[in-house]
Structure 1
Amino acid sequence: MGIIVVSGTGTEIGKTVVTAAVAAIATAAGRTVAVLKPAQTGVGPDERGDADEVVRLSGAAGSAELGRFPEPLAPGTA
């Protein structure tokens, strides 16, 4: 088992796209992939978040969020 962390200090810089690409490669290689988003910001409680998008794009087995905040925040603030 391995853990890969994708991190960035700004918004809209490609963290979700990079995460989806890495997850897709790992899934295609036969790995079971789960995505954890520590803080999802800028979406409401009934909206699809970034972790859902990673699962949709990559075929990852599942995802989880630790916190969700309706205001869009930079990673350092969230």
Structure 2
Amino acid sequence: MTVIVVSGTGTEIGKTVTTAAVAAVALAAGRKVAVLKPAQTGVGPGEPGDAQEVTRLAGEGVTTLELARFPEPLAPNTAARRAGMAPVRPHDVADAAA
């Protein structure tokens, strides 16, 4: 299993589009693709988030998993705290990726 991490320090800098591009290339090469979004912020229940956008851009062959969703468009730990919810911990991400 190959793991690629797409990370960035701000919003609207291209993480989702980059993830979709990498996923599309991998799908075109016949690879299985799974995208893990540890924490989605700034969207409400039922609204499409980044994982759905990756699928829209890369294709239906992408498996996605979102671990947590917080309503305010803030850093995940801040958004979790303000929502009175547990933050996503590193071991949660590692377990989900495994």
TM-score strictly above 0.5: yes
| Higher normalized helix content (fraction of residues) | 2
Q: Which residue of 2 aligns with 1:55?
A: 55
Percent of pairs with identical residues: 77
Q: Which residue of 1 aligns with 2:45?
A: 45
Q: CA deviation at 1:45?
A: 0.8
Q: RMSD value over aligned CA atoms? A: 1.5
Residue 32 (structure 1) aligned with residue 32 (structure 2)? yes
Q: For 1:33 and 1:45, locate their aligned partners in 2 and report how far apart those are by CA, in whole Å.
A: 25
Moved >3 Å (runs of 4+): 74-78
Q: CA deviation at 1:61?
A: 2.6
Q: Which residue of 1 aligns with 2:3?
A: 3
Q: For 1:27 and 1:77, locate their aligned partners in 2 and report how far apart those are by CA, in whole Å.
A: 35
1:19-70 deviations in whole A, cap 9, x for unaligned?
A: 0000000000000101100000010011010001101111243101111001
Q: Which amino acid in structure 2 is aligned with residue 22 of structure 1?
A: V
- CA 1:76 to 1:17, structure 2 compared with 1: closer, same or farther past 3 Å? farther
Structure 2 gaps of 5+ residues are 80-98
Q: Which has the higher contact order (CA 8 A, sep 6+)?
A: 1
Q: How many residues align?
A: 78
